[in-house]
Amino acid sequence: MAQVTIYGGAGSIGGNKIHIREGSSGLFLDFGIDFSMYSRFYGDFLTPRSGRGIYDYLHLGLLPPIANYRSDLTPPDLTLKGMPQIPVDALLLSHAHMDHVGLAGMLDTTIPLIASGTTLGLIKAMQDSGPARIGSDPIYTKERTPHDERTLVAGRKAAIGRDLIVTDDITDSFRSLISTIPQGKGARINASVSLFHESNFPFSIESYPVDHSIPGATAFLLGGDLSIAYTGDIRTHGRENAATSRFVDAARDTGTLIIEGTRLLREEDHSSPEVSEEEVAVNCREAVAEEEGLVIADFSPRNIERLMIFQEIADTCGRQLVVTAKDAYLLQAMAACGHPHLLPSLLMYGGFTDPRIPGWKKGLSDQIIPVSSDEVKRDPGSYILCFSLYDLVALPDIAPEGGTYISSTCEAFNEEMALDTARLVEWLDRFGICCHGLSGRSPEAVGFHASGHASPQDLEAIVDRIDPDLIIPVHTTAPEWYSRRWEQVVIPQTGEEITC
């Protein structure tokens, strides 16, 4: 018999931390940030204290009360006595979104990561190019040391790496990406990278690529006596829908199905027809073709499928796609993981003139051609800028006289996102830019974004095809949707053990 404990993701969207135990062996499925809980305490200018390690996270319930954390993140005045040291032989990561991987860096560095090469490569690139925050360093880290009885500081020793186990292929370019620290002037990471089928692991695990809004997304089947299927985040209406179908076929008659339900509370998702990525491509292409001036495309970070759609649109409409430096670095990492090399056909906004240029940016390929604000200003109709709200600070330099903004991302679903949308509207109005895909702002609000998650109808079809003995819904605020349709449902409670 196996025990499943949902430490995160029960009754919430994201923050999955799912522990599977069989005898003296165990593993985690994902270890992400619950942003809904995080935002109750923190915001843009209010963040956990870096010098306190895991202290704030534990006291606020952002981390589960276990003792499997890095000792160098445990300040001297924090005791983990009384918290269980649960068996964790590995952490399986379904994909590289922060609500699934964002707290992985907190776990003891002896715990290896198991994921697709693309997922590990993206996590590494995000760590390289992102801010240095507690827990945001799952691939490599500089151990902290006590400064006094309460505070931790970064040590001076070389960074240490975490062992990585790859579920698919390992190329030389992937090894180079994983093993090099750009901020360390070419310093190497002292960790092993191995293929899963070569590792000695106490569980039988099969990995299956699935359709989601980020490359490398994976579902897992835990075999042997366990018979557990975990979907991670999944959909059936993207360009990789056949991969999802293969996973569902492989998972048929599984004992326990741990399945997401992100879209179950949205009324329109129960009644409106599904928007596919192909429909998004058609609608966005029409909007770009109608615009003679500047076009700005806003889509979720790391949504490479959407980026490729806009690359195709740029080619068709005689424009060039312009990405930010961080996006260029992620694309370079993806090329190292075996994905299409898009960089030669893209431009990068800005350049390399800042004397404080970070190490990761210095490592960008010579194939990446920078484009300046003056160039965009002179001929705005020749470009599509891949900008988010936070990149619009460049608009005063470009000074567009009108243009088109395409919102190809999800609608605001909390107060903070609604405030961001209000700011976005102010920016667009200031420069006379019309918009498509922004709810409440344009008549064409639907059809410019395809969700990264399965619709209720598709989830029902997935469950019926798999026909599990037990269903455990996670990553949803409406778990009762499952219990209304199937008898064999256990609605999980955070920290409670389920025997299966």
- Residue 68 contacts by C-beta under 8 Å, 6 or more apart in sequence? 85, 86, 88, 107, 108, 111
Do 295 and 368 lie in one domain? The reply is yes
Give residue 269's pLDDT: 53
Residue 444 included in any domain: no
Do 484 and 393 lie in one domain? The reply is no
Residue 447 included in any domain: no
Please report where in the chains the tokens 């955070």 appear, as a residue: 494
Give residue 412's pLDDT: 45
pLDDT digits (tens, 9 = 90+) for 53-76: 999 999 999 999 999 999 999 999
Residue 385 included in any domain: yes
pLDDT digits (tens, 9 = 90+) for 306-334: 888 899 999 999 999 999 988 889 988 98
Measure Cα distances from 246 to 219, 243, 301 in Å: 11, 5, 27
Do 204 and 297 lie in one domain? The reply is no
Mean pLDDT along residues 384-406:
94
Q: Is pLDDT at 142 greater than 50 in this prediction?
A: yes
CA dist., res. 62 & res. 49, Å (int): 14
Band the pLDDT of 417: cuts 50, 70, 90: low
Do 61 and 85 lie in one domain? The reply is yes
Q: Is pLDDT at 410 greater than 70 in this prediction?
A: no
Do 234 and 209 lie in one domain? The reply is yes
Give residue 448's pLDDT: 74
Contact 225, 439 (CB under 8 A): no
Residue 271 included in any domain: no
pLDDT digits (tens, 9 = 90+) for 202-223: 889 999 999 998 999 999 999 8
Q: Number of structural domains, the chain?
A: 2
Query: Which two tokens mark 102?
Result: 């964002």
For position 362, which CATH number holds?
A: 3.40.50.10710
Task: Give the domain-ending residue among 436, 462, 488.
Answer: 436
Top pLDDT among 484 and 340 is at 484
Do 428 and 456 lie in one domain? The reply is no
Mean pLDDT along residues 184-191:
70
Task: Give the domain-ending residue among 436, 462, 486.
Answer: 436
Top pLDDT among 272 and 381 is at 381
Mean pLDDT along residues 247-275:
84
Give residue 182's pLDDT: 82
Do 389 and 422 lie in one domain? The reply is yes
Q: Is pLDDT at 440 greater than 50 in this prediction?
A: yes
State which residues form the domain around 297: 277-436
Amino acid letter at 158?
Answer: A
Work out the percent of the chain whose per-residue pLDDT is above 70. Answer: 92
Give residue 131's pLDDT: 85
Residue 48 included in any domain: yes
Do 284 and 351 lie in one domain? The reply is yes
Q: Give the helix ranges, DSSP H, for 170-303.
A: 172-179, 241-250, 267-271, 277-289
CA dist., res. 288 & res. 281, Å (int): 11
Give residue 415's pLDDT: 63
Residue 492 included in any domain: yes
Mean pLDDT along residues 42-58:
93
Q: Is pLDDT at 303 greater than 90 in this prediction?
A: no
Do 331 and 307 lie in one domain? The reply is yes
Highest mean pLDDT among 154-168, 178-192, 239-253: 239-253
Do 258 and 290 lie in one domain? The reply is no
Residue 301 included in any domain: yes
Averaged confidence pLDDT in the chain: 90
Give residue 1's pLDDT: 84
For position 147, which CATH number holds?
A: 3.60.15.10
- Residue 74 contacts by C-beta under 8 Å, 6 or more apart in sequence? 53, 54, 80
Band the pLDDT of 376: cuts 50, 70, 90: very high
Do 366 and 320 lie in one domain? The reply is yes
Q: Is pLDDT at 295 greater than 60 in this prediction?
A: yes
Work out the percent of the chain whose per-residue pLDDT is above 90. Answer: 64
Measure Cα distances from 86 to 30, 70, 90, 268, 466 in Å: 15, 14, 12, 41, 30
Do 331 and 249 lie in one domain? The reply is no
Characterize 34-46 residue by residue with b for buried, 16 or more Cβ atoms within 10 angstroms of its Cβ, and e for exposed: bbbbbeeeeeeee
- Residue 184 contacts by C-beta under 8 Å, 6 or more apart in sequence? 158, 159, 359
Please report where in the chains the tokens 């390399």 appear, as a residue: 352
Q: Is pLDDT at 441 greater than 60 in this prediction?
A: no
pLDDT digits (tens, 9 = 90+) for 221-252: 998 777 999 999 999 998 899 999 999 999 99
Residue 148 included in any domain: yes
Task: Give the domain-ending residue among 410, 436, 462.
Answer: 436
Q: Is pLDDT at 171 greater than 70 in this prediction?
A: yes
